[in-house]
A and B are shown apart, each in its own frame.
Chain A
Amino acid sequence: MKLSALGRKEGQDILKNKIYLVVILVQVFILLGTFGLAIASSIASDPTLLDHYGATSVLKVGVPDSIHNTQLEADLLKQNLNLTYYKNISTAQNLLGTTLVAVVFVNPPGGQNVTVKTDTSNVFYPVVSTKINKAVSEYQLQNKLVSSGLNTTEINRIMNPVNLQVVNLNENHHANIALDSPYFVEIMYGFIVPFILLLPFFLASNIVTDSIVGERERKTFEVLLMTPISSSMIMLGKTLPILFFSLIQSVVWIILLDLLRVPIYNPILMFVILFFMGLGFIGLGILLSMFVDSTKEANSAITIILVFATFILFMPLFIKTSYFTPILNFIPTVIMVKIASTPNININVIFSAVPTILISLMIFVFTVRYFRRERAIRL
C-alpha cells in the first residue's frame, strides 16, 4: 500500500514534468529520422534498388557523341545508366563533380581502349562505379572473345561460367521488412534498433538522479526517510515507476518499428533484457545520487557515465577486432541485435545474456544495500 502510494507519487512527478514529455517527442523524431535516413542511404547505395525504384536518372554519365550504336554504349545502357552525350568530351570532363558522376570515353576516338573518370565524392559514386565496372568488363571480355573468333555459345559460356539460382523457402511467412536490402537490414538491426530501444534507459538515469537529488535539494528526502517505509521500499517506490516508464517507451518504440516494417523478433526476451539493463542503469543513477550534492552536479556526472556507457555498448558494433570476438558475444547490444533480428533464437544467445542480467542485478542490489546503510543523507 505504502509502496504503491510512493510509486503513484513518483509516476505523477514524471508525467507532470514537461521536459520528460519533450524528450519522448524528441525520441519519436530520432526514430523516424534514423529510419528515413536508413531507407534513403540504402536506396542510394544499392544498384538493384535504384533500378527497382526507377531512380536511375541521377546516375549521370557523360559520354562522347561518337559512342552512338557501339558495343560500349549498349553495355552502359544495359546497366541503366543515364548517358548524356557531348560533342566535345572535355566539356563533359569539366562537368565531372558537379553535373556528372562519371565520364566514359574511348581513347583515342574510334579505338577500343576505354577511359573512365569518376568523382568519388558523389553520393551515387559506389553505384555508378559498380555499374560502369560491370559494363566495361563485359565490353573488354566481349571484344577479346569476338576478336579471337569464338561463336556466340562459346562467348556466353565464358562470360557466365558461374550461375547462381536463388530459391526462397518459407514464402508463407515472408519477413515483413520495409526494404529487402542488406545495407538496410544491417544498419537497422545492427545499430538503430538497439540504439532506439536503449534511449529511454539513458533518460531513466537522469530521472532517477533528479528524483533523489531533487528531493534532497527540496529538503523533502529527510521527511521521506522518516516515514514508516523501509529503505528497500523507498528504493523500489522510486525506481519501479522510472523503470516502467522507460520500459513502456521501449515497448512503444518496438510497436512503432513494427508499424514501420522493421519487425522486432522475440519481444518477450527483448523485454527481459531491457528490464535488467534498466535495473542496471537505474542502479548506477542511484549510486551516483548518493555521492553528489546538487542536481547540476548529478547531471554532469550522469552525462559522463552515459558517454562511457555509449562507448562500451555501441563501439563493439563497429570495431573489427579478432581477439575481442569471444567477449563481443556477451555485450548487451550485440545480444539485442541477435534477438531482434532472428525469428528462431538460438539457446546459446539466451545463455550469453546471463552475464548482463547478473551484472545489472548486482549493481542494483549493491546500490540498494548501500542506500540502506548510508540512507543517502550527506550533511
Chain B
Amino acid sequence: MSVPTKLQEPHLARRHRIGKAFEWVCCGSTWFGVVVLGVLLLSVGWKALTWPPAKAKPANNSTATVDAQSTSAPLSTKFFSSYDSRKPREAGILAAIWGSLWLIVLVALFSVPIGVGSAVYLEEYSNEGRLKRLIQVNLSNLAGVPSIVYALLGMTAFVKMFGFFTKDEGKSLVINLLFTTVDVPLPFDRTLISGALTLTLLVLPTVIVASQEALRAVPSSIRTASYALGATQWQTIRYQVVPAAMPGIMTGVILALSRAMGEAAPLMLIGALTYVAYTPGDITSVSDIFKNPHGLLDAPFDKFTALPLQIYQWINHPRAEYAHLAAAGIMVLLTILLLMNTFAIVIRHKFQKSTRW
C-alpha cells in the first residue's frame, strides 16, 4: 500500500485532530446536562428515601403505637393521603396533589379551545398581511415573557378584577343551573380559577404556536382534495385538517401543561395558600365525585395549594426535617412531569408511524 505523494495534503493530520477535538467538545456538552440531571435526581432521591431516620423513635412520644402507623414516610401511602402538618412526620401532599390536578384540568379546559381556535384562525382563515405578521411576532414574544409578569396580570384581572367589586366585599354571583346553583365569588380572589386562568395566559402562546406548526404541517393537497369533493371550509377544517394535526396539537398542549404544572412563581404572587387542610370541592378520591357531584362545581372557587408551592414552603421551613419532605415532593412532581412528557412522545411517535403523506 503505497500512497502516491499527490494525495498528501498539508496540515491534514492537524485538520483531523481539530475535527476530533470538536467532536469531543460536543460530546462533553451533551453529557454535562445528563450528569447534572443525574446528580440532581440522586441527591433528591436519597434525601427523600432517608426519611424518616431509622433511629427516630422520639422518647417523649407517649402514643408509640400510633406513631409507628401514622408516620408519613415519604412516598408511602400515608404521604399521599395526609394534609400538610406542623409535625413533619404527619405532613403529606394530599391538598397539593389535588390542587395541581385541578389546575392542570382547568388550564387544559381553558387553553385548548382558545389556543387551538386562534391557531386555526391564523392558519386557515386569516389572510397573509401586516396584521397577521404583527400577531405572529407578538405571539412569539409572549411565549418568552417571564411568568411573574403574567402573575401580575392575573393578580389584577382575576384576583382583584380591577377593583370593580371592592365596595361590596364577599359578594358572590349565584348562577342557576338546571338542577343546582353555583356560587361564583366576585372578584375571584385567591381561588383555583384565578390560578388556572393566570397559568392559561402563561401557556397560551406556547399552545398557539405549537398548534399552528401542527396545522402548517398538514399538506395542502388534503385541503384541496376536500374542497374538490364539495366540502365547505368548515367541513374541511373539522374533518380533515384538525384531525390530521391532532397529534402535533396534543404534543404541544401536553408540553405546555407540564410547564404550567411546574410553575410556582405566578401562583405565589396571586396568593395561593401554602397551608391548606382541605382539597378543592372536598374531593379526595374518584368515588367522592359520585358521592358529591356538586363538589366538581364548587372546586374551581375553592382556595388551594399546588405541588411546587408546597415544595417551596417545605424547603424554606426552619425545621430541617421538612427538607426531606420537600425532596419527596420533588420526586412526585418530577415523576408526574416525566409521565406527561413520555405520553406526549408516545402520541407523536404513534401518529408519525400511522400517517405518512
Q: Do A and B come from one complex?
A: no
Which A residues form the contact surface with B (CB < 8 A)? Answer: none
Which residues of B are at the interface with A, using a C-beta cutoff of 8 A?
Answer: none
